[in-house]
Every structure is written in C-alpha cells, then in structure tokens.
Amino acid sequence: MVGNSSKLIQDRKIIKKIKDGKFKIAIYGLGHVGAPLAAVWLRAGAHVIGVDNSESVLTEARKGKTIIPEPNVNEAFRKGIDTGRFELYDDAITASRDSYFKMICVPVLSQDQELSANLTAVSDVATMIGRGLKKNDLVSLNPSVPPGTTEEIVIPIIEKESGLSVKSDFCMIYNPERIYEGRAITDIENNYPAILSSLGPNSSQLAYTIYSLIFKKGVLILKSIRTAEAEKLFEGVYRDVNIALANELAKFCEVAGIDFWQARDAANSQPYCHIHKAGIGVGGACIPVYPQFVLDVANKMNVLCEVTNISRSINNGMPAYCVRQAIKLLKFSDLPEAKISILGLAFRGEVSDTRLSPTYAVITELQRFGVKDIRIHDPFVSSDPNLLNYDNVLLTSDLKKAIKNSDLIILSTDHKEYKKLGKKFIGNIPVYDGRGLLDKNSVNKLKILTIGQGDIKIS
Ligand SMILES: NC(=O)c1ccc[n+]([C@@H]2O[C@H](COP(=O)([O-])OP(=O)(O)OC[C@H]3O[C@@H](n4cnc5c(N)ncnc54)[C@H](O)[C@@H]3O)[C@@H](O)[C@H]2O)c1
C-alpha cells in the first residue's frame, strides 16, 4: 500500500498511541491463540486488556502466567503486569468500553469433539463487545470460521447491541490466526504475513497500519471477508488432503512390500513433490476441523467437495486401521487379556494439546476388541478429564511404569523423547510405530512394525 502524506501522519499518530498505551487492545479469550496474541501486543509496547470467562485463566494471568505452555508468553505477561500495561477483566462489556480495538479469540469448536462449528462463544463475545462499543472502535474476529460468519452472524449482533453501523461507525476486521502451537509468537512476529479483510470507514488502511506493527512479514489485504475466512480453511484442507494421500500411499506400500518412508524421501527430492507424513491419525483443533466447515457450507449449497470429503474419511479411519495392524504383533490371540501401552496422548509431538487427538480413537478401537489393560504415557500431559469417559485407562508420565510387562506398545504421538527409545528400554516388547518415528536399527528390528512398511516377520 502506498500512502500520501496525510495518511502517513495518521499512521504515525496511531502507532504512537499504541506504543504510548493510549490505544488499548482488548483480547477476548486467553487460550492457545489469544494468549500469544496478547503477548505479542505487549511485546510491541501496547496496553492490553485480557478478557476470559475462566476464573483460573484470569487468576494465572494476573500472576503473569498463561495456562498454555507457549514459549515467551509468561515473560510478556509478567512484564505487562509489572509495568501496568496488562490488565485482566472478567467484565466483557467494560473491557469493550475501555478499549479501542477488540480481538475475538474464543473457540469455535464444541467440547463434545464434534467437528462442526459451534459459534456460541463467538456470539456471546460479540454481544458483550456490541454493548460496550463506541464510534470509531475496531473489532477483529480471529478464529477460523465457516465463510459468512463475520458478515452474517458477528456484524449483525454487534450492530444490534451497539446501535452503530459498520458502514459508518466502526470497523470490522477478519484476521485468521495462523500459528503453530509451540512457536506461536515467532509465527506471528516473524514467520507469516497477516491475512486481513475488513469493512467500515477507512478500515483497510487502519487495519494495515495496526497489524504492520506486529507482523514483520507484512499484511495481505483481501477484498472480501468471506474470501479471508475461506483462506484459513483452505490451509487446513490442503494439509488434511495431503495427509490422506500419504496415508493412502502408506497403506499401498504395506501390501506391495515398499518402504513408504524411503520412497517419500526420494520423491520429495523433486521440487514439485511434497508428500506429507503418513500417521495414525489427524488431531488438534485445526486440521480435522476446517475441512468439515467447508463441507458443512458445501452441503447447504448442494456443492460436492469430493476430495475434501474422502480425505476426511481416510484420515478418520486411520486410528482403527493402525490398531488392526498393531494387534497383529501380539503373540497370543486372547486380546482382552493383553496389556497395551500407548505412547502419546497429545495430538502431535512436543505439545500438551489433546483436542481431537487420534489416541482417543485408538483407545476406543482397542476397547472394542475387549482390551482391558491400557496404559498411556505422555511427557506433556499429566491429567486429562476426557479419559474419564474410558474404563481402565491409566495415564502416566512415568515411561517405565507405562511399558512394564506390556505385551504391545503403540506409538501414537511423535514426541521427540520417543525417538530415543532403544533396545535396552523396550526389550522384546513389540512396537507398532504409528508415526514412522523410530529408527529400526536402535530397536529390535524383528519386533517393530512401522506404518508404511509391511516387512515384519513376527518371531
Ligand atoms: N490452537 C491453535 O493452534 C489455533 C491456530 C489457529 C487458529 N485457531 C483458532 O482459534 C480459535 C481459538 O482457539 P484456541 O486454541 O485459542 O482455544 P482455547 O480453548 O485454547 O482458548 C479459548 C479461551 O477462550 C476462553 N473463552 C471461551 N469462551 C469464552 C467467552 N464466552 N468469553 C470469554 N472467554 C471465553 C476460554 O476460557 C479459553 O481461555 C479456534 O477455534 C481456532 O479456530 C487455533
């Protein structure tokens, strides 16, 4: 964007206001997305109001702590509290009154592991923001949402509650978060450009100026909010479809006597080939969810999204498929008596997030076969209320305890710690490696079955 001199003066004024702490930014929802975003604004010198409906989230934040283990967030929170630039509110309307810029970072995923969007929290927060909204305020919606959500749901709520109009009185921005858990701050500050689309007076220019302050990779402004909403979903669909392709090829390799991992490495040495990793399942609050948002909208419009649909079902079927492969490693046929250890509950390596983790489907499948003794190890997850839904499942951070006297180990999450597991530790326990993580030379070759490799000879 090229600006004239009056625009430059206006830009400088806003940036000065943000850095002087006069342009207060309210972040609604201090979770995986909101906490790092609050931290990034604090690191940029802004005055941040954190809003959350969880008392424990607010209590920890007041002590300068986030409940999300994300590098550098605690430091930013602590410094913000010490300098008086970070305030925590439980009153969402007052937070709206006291701030100029409001960012909605609450979840759109229902608690019951359904993949369709649940916009209750977004609508609740939009209502509260609307009740405290002032002329010339800015509101940004940040979660990934079905296309149409900002214009058809959020703006009407804010307009109704505030009596103001987006055409003349306030700015509405859609800005999808594009972070990868575990490196969220770096992602926002250094790795990706911000994607924005907006409505309202002078809104693109304002949004561009404000977001340029924290996104070093720049800001991409899209003409329509619907397109920006779809962009974020496409990132997830692309990943899901490509993982499904990898899973399909891995299953083919298993029957055809081909090493998927070697073939993949070789194929990817060509610049137009990007075969993803095969795995026991796709979890987390993003990749399995966004294709479903696309499919839900497509269904309403009678549009077929066949590749997206079939990919979802391939990936959904992976935990059950892998369990069927894994139990072939058991020496005896009395499956209900087997002691089975699962390595990893988090949905992917090096994080504690268990949302929609494939490990849950692995447990369900094992229990369907009648397995009564299941132990789960995860170095990042010490407790998990979801496990109360399953009988006879033990969760431990003690790896030795998890695999003691085990008849079978199923590696479900690619935590780095598991890569180092060697013969001495595992001994003769057979291992199903659902992530292609283990080095066959460091464990008992005859006792390991890796997804995508069908060459096991069970002794
Ligand atoms: N987790 C990711 O890596 C990621 C990445 C990109 C986008 N997203 C998107 O961001 C959205 C938010 O995800 P998250 O991972 O931060 O969720 P989260 O569950 O980690 O955090 C949400 C926070 O919002 C709070 N909250 C819930 N309802 C509220 C309400 N009505 N008022 C105030 N606070 C409320 C919760 O207490 C929690 O602290 C997701 O739905 C997803 O679309 C997530």
Q: Among residues 175, 203, 223, which one ends one of the domains?
A: 223
Dihedrals φ, ψ of 91, to 5°?
-100, 105
**What is the average per-residue pLDDT within 35-55?**
97
Ligand 1, CB within 6 Å, residue ranges? 28-34, 51-54, 57, 105-109, 121, 124-125, 143-144, 177, 179, 181, 285-286
Give 271 Cα–ligand 1 centroid separation in angstroms: 36
Burial class (CB in 10 A: 0-12, 13-18, 19+), 251: buried
Residue 458 lies in a domain: yes
Residue nearest to atom 12 of ligand 1 (CA): 107
CB atoms within 10 A of CB 48: 27
pLDDT of residue 192: 92
User: Do 208 and 239 sit in the same domain of this protein?
Assistant: no
Site to substitute for ligand 1 among 65, 91, 174, 177, most atoms within 8 A of C-beta: 177
Residue nearest to atom 40 of ligand 1 (CA): 107
Give 120 Cα–ligand 1 centroid separation in angstroms: 12
User: Do 176 and 309 sit in the same domain of this protein?
Assistant: no
Percent of the chain exceeding pLDDT 90 equals 82
User: Do 318 and 434 sit in the same domain of this protein?
Assistant: yes
pLDDT grade for 111, boundaries at 50, 70 and 90: low
User: Do 247 and 287 sit in the same domain of this protein?
Assistant: yes
User: Do 278 and 410 sit in the same domain of this protein?
Assistant: yes
**Residue range(s) defining the domain that contains residue 299:** 234-459
Which atom from ligand 1 is nearest to the alpha carbon of 124?
A: 31
Residue with tokens 């499956």, as numbered in its chain: 335
Largest CA distance in the chain: 79
Residue nearest to atom 39 of ligand 1 (CA): 31
**CA–CA separation, 49 vs 28, rounded Å?**
8
pLDDT grade for 259, boundaries at 50, 70 and 90: very high
pLDDT beyond 60 at 57: yes
User: Do 399 and 278 sit in the same domain of this protein?
Assistant: yes
- pLDDT, tens digit, 9 for 90 and up, residues 185-209: 999 999 999 999 999 988 999 999 9
Please indicate whether residue 426 or residue 234 has the higher confidence score (pLDDT): 234
- pLDDT, tens digit, 9 for 90 and up, residues 336-352: 899 999 999 999 999 99
Q: How far is CA 311 from CA 235, 282, 329, in A?
A: 14, 11, 28
Q: Among residues 191, 223, 255, which one ends one of the domains?
A: 223
- pLDDT, tens digit, 9 for 90 and up, residues 286-335: 999 999 999 999 999 999 999 999 999 999 999 999 999 999 998 767 88
Residue 229 lies in a domain: no
**What is the average per-residue pLDDT within 244-254?**
97
Which atom from ligand 1 is nearest to the alpha carbon of 33?
A: 16
Residue nearest to atom 34 of ligand 1 (CA): 52
DSSP H or E stretch at residue 454: none
Side by side, the strands of the sheet bearing 373-377 are 393-396, 373-377, 339-343, 408-411, 431-433, 448-450
pLDDT grade for 446, boundaries at 50, 70 and 90: confident
CATH number at residue 394: 3.40.50.720
Q: Among residues 166, 192, 223, which one ends one of the domains?
A: 223
pLDDT of residue 181: 85
Q: Work out whether strand 393-396 and strand 171-174 pair parallel, antiparallel, or are unpaired.
A: unpaired
Give 121 Cα–ligand 1 centroid separation in angstroms: 9
- pLDDT, tens digit, 9 for 90 and up, residues 142-178: 999 999 999 999 999 999 999 999 999 999 999 999 8
DSSP H or E stretch at residue 411: strand 408-411
pLDDT grade for 440, boundaries at 50, 70 and 90: confident
Dihedrals φ, ψ of 361, to 5°?
-70, -30
pLDDT beyond 50 at 358: yes
* Range with the poorest average pLDDT among 1-5, 37-41, 173-177: 1-5
Give 109 Cα–ligand 1 centroid separation in angstroms: 8
pLDDT beyond 70 at 363: yes
pLDDT of residue 459: 42
Q: What is the pTM of this model?
A: 0.89
Average pLDDT, the chain: 93
Which atom from ligand 1 is nearest to the alpha carbon of 106?
A: 24
User: Do 247 and 179 sit in the same domain of this protein?
Assistant: no
Which atom from ligand 1 is nearest to the alpha carbon of 107?
A: 41
- pLDDT, tens digit, 9 for 90 and up, residues 403-434: 999 999 999 999 999 988 887 788 889 999 99
Q: Work out whether strand 194-199 and strand 171-174 pair parallel, antiparallel, or are unpaired.
A: antiparallel
Structure tokens at 152: 């058809």
Give 217 Cα–ligand 1 centroid separation in angstroms: 24
User: Do 214 and 239 sit in the same domain of this protein?
Assistant: no
- Mapped onto helix, strand or coil, the DSSP state of residue 173 is strand
Which atom from ligand 1 is nearest to the alpha carbon of 35?
A: 16
Number of structural domains, the chain? 2
pLDDT of residue 116: 80
Give 83 Cα–ligand 1 centroid separation in angstroms: 26
Residue 20 lies in a domain: yes
**CA–CA separation, 43 vs 83, rounded Å?**
12
Residue with tokens 């302050």, as numbered in its chain: 213
User: Do 407 and 263 sit in the same domain of this protein?
Assistant: yes
Residue 28 contacts residue 58 (beta carbons within 8 Å): no
Give 258 Cα–ligand 1 centroid separation in angstroms: 42
Give 180 Cα–ligand 1 centroid separation in angstroms: 14
CB atoms within 10 A of CB 108: 21
Listed in sequence order, the residues at least 6 apart from 163 whose beta carbon sits closer than 8 Å to its beta carbon are none
User: Do 54 and 81 sit in the same domain of this protein?
Assistant: yes
CB atoms within 10 A of CB 329: 19
Structure tokens at 250: 């891995």
Residue 247's nearest CA partner among 183, 176, 320 is 320
pLDDT beyond 50 at 102: yes
For residue 70, the one-letter residue type is E
Measured distance between the N- and C-terminal CA atoms of the chain, rounded to whole angstroms: 67
**What is the average per-residue pLDDT within 378-389?**
94
User: Do 309 and 177 sit in the same domain of this protein?
Assistant: no
User: Do 398 and 307 sit in the same domain of this protein?
Assistant: yes
**CA–CA separation, 382 vs 388, rounded Å?**
14
**CA–CA separation, 253 vs 261, rounded Å?**
9
Residue 228 lies in a domain: no
